[in-house]
A and B are shown apart, each in its own frame.
Chain A
Amino acid sequence: MKVKFKIYILIICTVFGLVLGVQIKQNNKNYSLVTLKSISSMQNEIKNTQKEIKNLKNMLDKKKVELKKYEQIIENKGSIVDVLEKELENMKMISGLEDVQGPGVFIIVEDNDDEIKIGDNPNYDIVHDIDVLYLINELKVAGAEAISVNGQRVLSNSEIKCGGPIIRINEHSLATPFVIKAIGDPKVLYAAVNAPNTYGNMLKEVYNIKIRTEISDNILIPRYLGDFKLEYAKPVKEGE
C-alpha cells in the first residue's frame, strides 16, 4: 500500500515540478511593466509600418506594370525609342520645358491707383512680391498644372522676390500689371482667387487692389527660358 502512495506522490510531484519549471522559464527577466501608453504607441508604430509596407507594395506593382509595358513593346517588335521619346516629351511637359496650352484662368493684378488720403499707408496700395507669391500658392492648391507671371514660367526653383517698385521672377524684372496665367480646372482656379476668405478676395476687399480674374478656354503658357544647372545635387542611385 505504501509504495502505491509513493508512486502517486511521485507522479503528482512531477506534474508540480513541470509547472514550476515552466513558470521559472517564463519569469526569466522578460517580465517587465507594460503601460497602456507604450502599448498604444507600439500599436501606432505597427500601423505606420504596415502602411509603409502597403505603399511600397503599391509602388512595386506600379513598376511591374511599367516593366510589362516595356516587355510587350519589345515583343511586338515596336521600337523602344518611340516609347522613350514619348516619355521624354511627357517629362518635358511636366518639368516646364515645353509650351503648354489648355483651359484655365488669367488674373490681372494692378496697384490701387486711388488718390492717397492723409493717414493712408501707400504700402497697402502696392502689389508686393508676397501677394503674388500667395496668389500663386493658392492656385497651386487649386490644382494648377502650369503657372506663369508676365510670361515667366513659374517652376519649383523660380524665385519671386521684391525688387523695389518691381518684382523679380526667374531673374527677370516684372512690373505691374501682373498677369498671372494658370492652366487647370477653370472653375476651381477662379474660386481659389475669388471665393470669400481667400487671399485674392482679401486683397480686393480690404486693400482695394485691382484684381480681375477671367476664365479662358485656351491659355498659352510659355516654357521656362533659363537653363538648369545642377552643381551640387547628384542623383541617388537606387539600392544604395
Chain B
Amino acid sequence: MIFAIIGIAIGIVVGLYLPITYSTNYSLYMSVAILACMDSVFGGVRASLENKFNTSIFISGFFGNAILAAFLAYIGDRLGVPLYYAAIFAFGSRLFQNFAIIRRFIFNKNDAT
C-alpha cells in the first residue's frame, strides 16, 4: 500500500516536470488507459495483501489492460460507438471491488492485532 502511494507520488511529480506532450486528440485514449492502469495497481495491491501476488500477471495486466482499453476507445471512435464505456464500466466496477477488499484486509488486520 505505502509503496504504491509513494510510487504514484514520485511518478506524478516526475511526469509534471518531464517535457512530454501529445496531441489533445489522444486525451480520451490516455484517460481510459489510465483507468485500466489504476485497476491493475489496485488489483496488485490486493493480491499482495492476499499473498497471491504474481509478478508476470501483474505486469502483463498493467500494460495489457491499458493498451486494450485505449485500443477499445480508438475502435469506438472509428465506429462512432462509444466503446470506451465498456472499459470504464469493467475497470470502474473492479476498481471499487478491489478497493473494498483492500479496506477489509486493512481493518481486519487492525482488529486482529
Contacts and interface: CB of A to CB of B under 8 A. Distances in A.
Nearest to B11: A17
B12 to A, nearest CB: 4
A16 B33 CA distance: 10
A19 interface: yes
Interface residues of B, number: 37
Given A17-B9, A20-B34, A5 B48 contact: yes
Contact of A10 (B4, B20, B34): B4
Given A21-B11, A21-B16, A26 B3 contact: no
B48 A22 contact: no
Contact of A18 (B3, B18, B53): B18
A8 interface: yes
Contacts of B41: 9, 12-13, 16
Nearest to B55: A8
A237 interface: no
Chain A CB within 10 A, most for which of B22, B31, B53, B59: B53
B58 interface: yes
A23 B37 CA distance: 13
Contacts of A228: none
A17 B14 CA distance: 8
B34 A19 contact: yes
Interface in B6-53: 6-16, 18, 20-22, 24, 27, 30-31, 33-34, 37-38, 40-41, 44-45, 48, 51, 53
Contact of B48 (A9, A15, A20): A9
Nearest to A22: B15
A20 B9 CA distance: 10
A12 B64 CA distance: 13
A27 interface: yes
A5 B16 contact: no
Interface in B77-98: none
Interface in A1-50: 2, 4-27, 30-31
Given A6-B3, A19-B11, A22-B22, 12 more contacts: A5-B48, A5-B55, A9-B44, A12-B7, A12-B41, A13-B3, A13-B7, A17-B12, A18-B11, A18-B12, A18-B15, A23-B34
Interface of A: 2, 4-27, 30-31
Interface of B: 3-16, 18, 20-22, 24, 27, 30-31, 33-34, 37-38, 40-41, 44-45, 48, 51, 53, 55, 58-59, 62
